[in-house]
Structure 1
């Protein structure tokens, strides 16, 4: 376990959001995406949250347009995710739904459960057209957590998401990138996409004792490759 916050304080990710977005994206306090059930990515954004394509206040840290779509496979309909499996890093974890706080920030997965990932319940579900966001702790006051080894994933690795409709969405990792939290590329991570994509996000880099937070975010970019019955 790395040296970190006081017991009981969740440790996850922080990423900047645009001026129209109300400040910061905290992994223990934020995430934003949107899509509707037919995959048109028009689901209403959460109150006081940024539209995915909105860059930072001055473009700082914005890596430009959203990444080009990978070779497309048919997007799936809307269905809640139930379990995340990433064999290469021994992840096999259930999902919890994450809602927004009154301040417009996403609540975190419970910090006392080290093997739990969360998704924003009003956003894109994994397999729908658009960028689905899944957040998990790298560690907690209880020790290493579900996304401890996320940064070790490689292009071509597979990520499987079991869904409530009985399907399993299979994603292929395109890249794994690390961004400073004070220069987070909103558009690149949350920008609209013409196909079904997935973002896995956690903390990374150095832990700052004064800020009680990690300085970076690790983001895994992946696209839907296929699906099959669960």
Structure 2
């Protein structure tokens, strides 16, 4: 794996704001603006702050239709279930036992210059979620980001690239529900050519994006050259025990 960096960021590109709603270190994340269809999208390239752009005005939130808050699905699912949605509720904890993740969340917002503010650099076991977008389990793509390492060593998403299709992640929410997401794919993208719309575009079903740094560490730029992105969709919900 790449050598430890002083403090890093995660990817910088952009997610969709919903009107109520990834993460770097030494610098804040910048969010270029992208217009798509009838609405504006926030998209980010990497958790580096090389792009200096302002985000668009967030579109109005869309109230989801909730058939049964705690009705779990049965059996493996390859396509997201369009009737499986949860109302808006902030995430409290992320659990991915397969890679040893058990971490609380901190909300991330955009700064005055359009950058995504970073989570505290002194906490290596912390996941950040973009509070301007969908909450995990809500309709849309929920953006969660975490450091791969910090000044002090490995961080929460050190092993994120070891997940695979079929892996699961549980997110406990403030409303007492647990949203389980199943991984569709794990992909690595160059920060110089990050597929903003694919990662951050709005989705008709509840989906999740887990993002961190990856690839080679560029000592001159003090940043990793790639981003690791996990694409996942909601497959079941239950009450927290």
- Give TM-score scaled by structure 1 length: 0.78
Structure 2 distance, partners of 1:23, 1:164, is 26
CA gap 1:4/1:211 in 2 versus in 1, 3 angstroms = farther
Count of residues paired in the alignment: 199
CA contact (8 A) 1:86 1:159 kept: yes
Aligned residue number for residue 3 of structure 2: 3
Structure 2 distance, partners of 1:28, 1:97, is 18
Structure 1 distance, partners of 2:235, 2:59, is 21
**47, 51, 61: which one pairs with 1:36?**
61
Structure 2 distance, partners of 1:179, 1:16, is 12
Which sections of structure 1, spanning at least 5 residues, go unmatched? 41-67
CA gap 1:95/1:89 in 2 versus in 1, 3 angstroms = same
Aligned residue number for residue 179 of structure 1: 189
Query: How well do the aligned residues superpose, as a CA RMSD in angstroms?
Result: 2.6
SS in 2 for 1:154: coil
Which sections of structure 2, spanning at least 5 residues, go unmatched? 15-30, 35-41, 66-77
SS in 2 for 1:122: coil
Structure 2 distance, partners of 1:16, 1:170, is 25
The superposition leaves residues 61-118 of structure 1 with CA deviations (integer Å, 9 ceiling, x where unpaired) of xxxxxxx963435110000000000010010000001111111111111111000000
Structure 1 distance, partners of 2:97, 2:171, is 12
Structure 2 distance, partners of 1:16, 1:37, is 22
Structure 1 distance, partners of 2:167, 2:225, is 26
CA contact (8 A) 1:37 1:77 kept: no
Aligned residue number for residue 174 of structure 2: 164
CA gap 1:130/1:24 in 2 versus in 1, 3 angstroms = closer
SS in 2 for 1:100: coil
**118, 123, 127: which one pairs with 1:117?**
127
State yes or no: 1:14 paired with 2:11. Answer: yes
Structure 1 distance, partners of 2:94, 2:128, is 10
- Give TM-score scaled by structure 2 length: 0.75
User: Cα offset for 1:132?
Assistant: 0.2
CA gap 1:89/1:194 in 2 versus in 1, 3 angstroms = same
Structure 1 distance, partners of 2:217, 2:86, is 38
User: Cα offset for 1:25?
Assistant: 4.2
State yes or no: 1:106 paired with 2:116. Answer: yes
Alignment of 1:53-202 (within 5 A): 70-202=80-212
User: Cα offset for 1:24?
Assistant: 5.5
CA contact (8 A) 2:106 2:127 kept: yes
Structure 1 distance, partners of 2:231, 2:158, is 17
